[in-house]
Chains A and B, each alone.
Chain A
Amino acid sequence: MIDSRPIILVAGAPLSGVTSVAGALADRLKRHRVLERLGPGERPAAVVFVVSAAAPLTESDAAVLDIAAANTDAVVAAVSKIDVHRTWPQVLDTNRALLARHAARYAGLAWVPVAADPHIGPARVDRLAEQLRALLSQPARSPQKPLRINPVRPQIPVRPQMQQMRIQMSAQARTVCLALRTDLRDEAAEVNRHEVDEFSSGVRRRVVAVAAELEAALTGRLTHLTGGLQLSAPPCPPLDSYLPRWCRPRPENRLTVALSAGFGLGISLTVSRVLADIAPDWTPAVTGGALVAGVVLTGWVIRTRGLAAQRTALDRWVIEVTAGLRAAMEDDLATRLSAAEFALAAAAAAGETAALRRFPNPAWSDRT
């Protein structure tokens, strides 16, 4: 069913309290539809422009009002969050002056203080609701101009760049993961018995650091590409879910002990027989010595084979971990790129692309 109630558009900068003002107004003005965003072809009967009382408004806030009030003169401005920001009267006066200077049509604008979702004290939205009712009861005040429909701009420059970035970023992830794997395998081949735990936690640290680095690079490039468009990163599965855990190769240990003991005993038996043949007078001493040597040899072989097994397991584990890291990075890249494409398409449909500007990001520019 088509909702034919007149529309009240609540507009403002992100985090200025638009959602709570819209919610409070929707509760109080049941005969109107209160929206934060217009659908295609929709036209507001009145516009509520919300500015936070945290600080005086900026040019970009005023630009939001310009777009929202393009088709109507029925505008009420609200200074929100007055429960928390005690300096709201000064902010309100400054805003009134700033907006009057911004455009002559806003000189007589009604400014109302509101606290729609107060953290301290009661809600204060009734004055705004009354102001709106009074405004809406007057005959329509839409300016005599046709409804502007913003054409959807083709995303010619952005889309190929996006594809290019996908290739570059996945290449970067691949190179970094390969380099990390080579590095870690080299180190795994030289690990001591006592260093195994240290090494495995070190691998985790490095993987997390590399993931953070790639993530930062991706954020930087995305920000650069979208020119400051508000992009909220979609949630991705945690990195831990991609990384296999390190566990010591236990079952192999018993086999190693059995084989090494056989090896050591065999050597000691052979040596003692040979020596007993050469010097029959010394047989007891030779047998004792050969036994001790056999035990020592057994211990040495067990240790060495154990270490070799650990190193092999570490090597396999390192390969799995880097593969997991690569998968995580590729998933992250795909999710964030598709979210960015979606946001860009939405922005283009809303006709905001013209206002977008590119900006270099200080976080990743060369620091020299």
Chain B
Amino acid sequence: MAVHPFAALLRAGTEALDEPTLGRLTAKLSAPMRVGVAGRRGSGRDTVRRVLRGAGAVVAEPGEPADIDVYLCVETLTREDIDALAAAPRPAVAVLNKADLSGFRGAGPMAMAAERCRGLERDTGVPILPLAGLLAVAACDPAVLDPPLVEALRTVLVEPVRLSPPIRRRMLAELDFFGIAIAAEAVCGGADHAELAARLRGVSGLPAVLEAIGRAGASLRYRRLIAALAGLAGHAVGRRGIPVAEFLAGDAVVQARMHAATDAMADSGPADLLRRAIHWQRYARGPVSVLERDCATDIARGALRLWSEAGGIPEPVR
């Protein structure tokens, strides 16, 4: 069971907030991050939906509202792909699907796909990640790598003639050439089910895609936190609002904002707390977007609070 990202904040909230307010805050902060999958026809949208579902993401079905888009392209970025990415109303992660079919020469299809992604990124300025959808499905969905298929993978390198046509067709449909090669090599090397799945997952490029989705989700989570806390400010008025005001100014809120902001910036800055605060304060003064400025300010504030807790004594600036 994954720990709630704002567990410490909600724990502090139980003491300061009344039941309905805390309930609303919890609901706002716990709403799932729905991932939508878009892309041109034949780009493997259903496969990638299955992959993301298997990897534990909340996937929006076609037509349902989503918080983050995974945009699939195949082989290259067409004019339509670029238009769709440019018009994306949400944070989007561009993925070059079917990377396992990029070619079987040189360093192999995944390396070729990664190289192609770098070229596309340099030409268009859109960051793209390679993904082999079929391999990722096999790694995430236990129904794919069932005993008959594993047995067939064991046989395919030794006596391919013994394989029946239906299982051959199934292997091709579920893993395709590159997947069969990788999986058969792993199985013959003595890999068990978990190791095989881990190997396929590693090769498929799924970890990088999930990380990119997580990164895109981090700024969204930060925005949700800010919106939820802004909603609370209205309750921090008058005598009855004192605990709420104290909660909002308290360490739990400042730390939660700092952690969410650090995730959103994907960088925590220098390890030394005072230097970190100075770094982010300077950063916030630079020519950056509103979100980045808010994040930097929150990190600086959190770092200063930690620094003074750790015994730091403020002194006048020269």
Those of A4-38 within 8 Å (CB) of chain B: 13-16
A-B interface contact total, Cβ < 8 Å? 98
B103 nearest CB neighbor, chain A only: A119
* Contact size range, A: 35 or more
Shortest distance in angstroms between B164's beta carbon and chain A's nearest beta carbon?
18
Listed stretches B26-34, B200-208, B254-262, B287-295; interface member: B287-295
> A13-B76, A359-B83, A362-B92 in contact; A54/B126 too (CB < 8 A)?
no
Interface pair A230/B123, CB less than 8 Å apart? yes
Interface string of A199-243 (1 = CB under 8 A from B): 000000000000000001001100100001011110000000000
Within 8 Å CB of B316, what residues of A?
none
**Within the assembled complex, what's the spacing in Å between the Cα atoms of A366 and B116?**
27
Those of A67-109 within 8 Å (CB) of chain B: 84-86, 91, 94
> A55-B41, A55-B43, A91-B42 in contact; A368/B291 too (CB < 8 A)?
yes
Interface pair A220/B41, CB less than 8 Å apart? no
**Within the assembled complex, what's the spacing in Å between the Cα atoms of A233 and B121?**
11
Within 8 Å CB of A366, what residues of B?
289-291
> A119-B103, A228-B82 in contact; A54/B74 too (CB < 8 A)?
yes
Number of interface residues of B (CB under 8 A): 39
Those of A328-368 within 8 Å (CB) of chain B: 357, 359-364, 366-368
Interface pair B125/A361, CB less than 8 Å apart? yes
**Within the assembled complex, what's the spacing in Å between the Cα atoms of A233 and B120?**
10
**Within the assembled complex, what's the spacing in Å between the Cα atoms of A233 and B126?**
14
Interface string of A177-219 (1 = CB under 8 A from B): 0000000000000000000000000000000000000001001
Interface hub of A52, A86, A368 (most chain B Cβ within 10 A): A368
Within 8 Å CB of A304, what residues of B?
none
Partner of B125, one of A55, A223, A230: A223
Interface pair A231/B75, CB less than 8 Å apart? no
Is A281 in the interface zone, CB < 8 Å from B?
Answer: no
Within 8 Å CB of A220, what residues of B?
125
A52 nearest CB neighbor, chain B only: B75
Residues of A within 8 A of B (CB): 13-16, 52, 54-56, 58-61, 84-86, 91, 94, 119-120, 216, 219-220, 223, 228, 230-233, 357, 359-364, 366-368
Residues of B within 8 A of A (CB): 40-43, 74-76, 78-80, 82-83, 85-88, 91-92, 98, 101, 103-105, 116, 119, 122-127, 172, 176-177, 219, 289-292
